[in-house]
Amino acid sequence: MKILTTDHLTREFGGVIAVNDVNFSVEQGLVTGLIGPNGAGKTTLFNQITGVDKPTRGTITFDGKDITGLPAWKVSRLGIARTFQNIRLYKELTVVENVMMGLHFKVGKDPFHGRFLQAVKSYVFAQRENREMYERAMEWLHFFGIESHAQDFARSLPYGMQRELEIARALAADPKLLFLDEPAAGMNPAETAHLMDVVDKIRSLGVTVVLIEHDMKLVMNICDQITVLNFGTKIAEGTPQAIKQNKDVIEAYLGKEEE
């Protein structure tokens, strides 16, 4: 079953067509890789889907709902979480607070109805809510093995952990679909290996993952499906084996990459 499809999705920046008429789809429960040379439009495609930016044309359907042009905060509440290519942590908040932010809209619904009353309740019963959120956030920190840093400022974490913390924050929202924008960028081999384990674990939680990655070994190892973009256009999609042998892809991307 397709959990997400884009239909003729296009994003133009002035004269630049960053995403050009792309029909992209994600199969539920699988890990989908999105690859392509620098400037191919991968991040832009992510931004359109997650509501960070609005498409010029085309539609996006998630879980049977049309989510085209919805603001990011609504998209995330529907069950799409993401990380960013240039890490966007809340640097002056603690590690555990970062993950608690991921839980923000997960906690504190009942017994009051109406937004205003919910806000009042959140205020008055803050301690109780905090405890619940804290415990759930700590579970995610355990999942990534960074619980000993819970009370450190996010900015003080080493780079690899910052990337993992961002994934933890995204996962805390209990998403159906998780977008990772170059999660292994800047990681050393040990950190990358850990990341691959983590992605496997995430898949076994039943979360559908889409990831952008330049590290071909990682992509070929963990992805079930791969979509290739070049100059904003989709040039191929299929299994890793098929992509490895695809002539267009080798020309546009792998050929260059391997010299």
Partner 1 sequence: MINFFMLILIYSGVYALMAIGQNCITGSTGMLSLCHAGFFCIGSYVTAIMCKMFGISFWLSLPVAALAAGFVGFLIGVPTLRLKGDYLCIATLGLGEIIRNIATNINPVGITSIPRASLFGYQFSSRNKGAFIILIWVFVLIFYILFQQLAHSRLGRAMNAIREDEVAAQSNGINVTKYKISSFVLGAAIGGIAGSFQTAYTLTVSPSSYTFMVSVMVLCTVVLGGMGNAKAVILGAFIIQFISYFQQLTGLTNIIPPQANQMIFGLILVVMMIWRPQGLLGRDKYRYGDPRTFKEKLLAVAKRKGGER
Ligand X SMILES: Nc1ncnc2c1ncn2[C@@H]1O[C@H](COP(=O)(O)OP(=O)(O)OP(=O)(O)O)[C@@H](O)[C@H]1O
Footprint on this chain of ligand X (rule: CB under 6 A): 13, 16, 18, 36, 38-44, 85
Per CB under 5 A, 98 contacts Mg ion: no
Least CB distance to partner 1 at residue 53 (A)? 10
Joined together, the tokens standing for residue 203 give: 């898949």
Per CB under 8 A, 134 contacts partner 1: yes
Least CB distance to partner 1 at residue 221 (A)? 27
Q: What is the 3-state secondary structure (H, E, C) of the chain?
A: CEEEEEEEEEEEECCEEEEEEECCEEECCCEEEEECCCCCCHHHHHHHHCCCCCCCEEEEEECCEECCCCCHHHHHHHCEEECCCCCCCCCCCEHHHHHHHHCHHHCCCCCCCCHHHHHHHHHHCHHHHHHHHHHHHHHHHHHHCCHHHCCCEHHHCCHHHHHHHHHHHHHHCCCCEEEEECCCCCCCHHHHHHHHHHHHHHHHCCCEEEEECCCHHHHHHHCCEEEEEECCEEEEEECHHHHHHCHHHHHHHHHHHHC
Q: Whole-angstrom distance between the N-terminal and C-terminal Cα of the chain? A: 38
Near partner 1 by CB under 8 A: residue from 57, 109, 131, 142: 131
Near Mg ion by CB under 5 A: residue from 6, 32, 43, 227: 43
Nearer to Mg ion, 85 or 94 (CB): 85
Per CB under 8 A, 96 contacts partner 1: yes
Nearer to partner 1, 40 or 89 (CB): 89
Per CB under 8 A, 159 contacts partner 1: no
Least CB distance to ligand X at residue 128 (A)? 42
Near partner 1 by CB under 8 A: residue from 63, 104, 147, 196: 104
Nearer to ligand X, 12 or 132 (CB): 12
Interacting partner of 177 out of Mg ion, partner 1, ligand X, none (Cβ under 5 to 8 A depending on kind): none
Near partner 1 by CB under 8 A: residue from 84, 140, 143, 144: 84
Per CB under 8 A, 229 contacts partner 1: no
Per CB under 5 A, 85 contacts Mg ion: yes
Nearer to ligand X, 35 or 133 (CB): 35
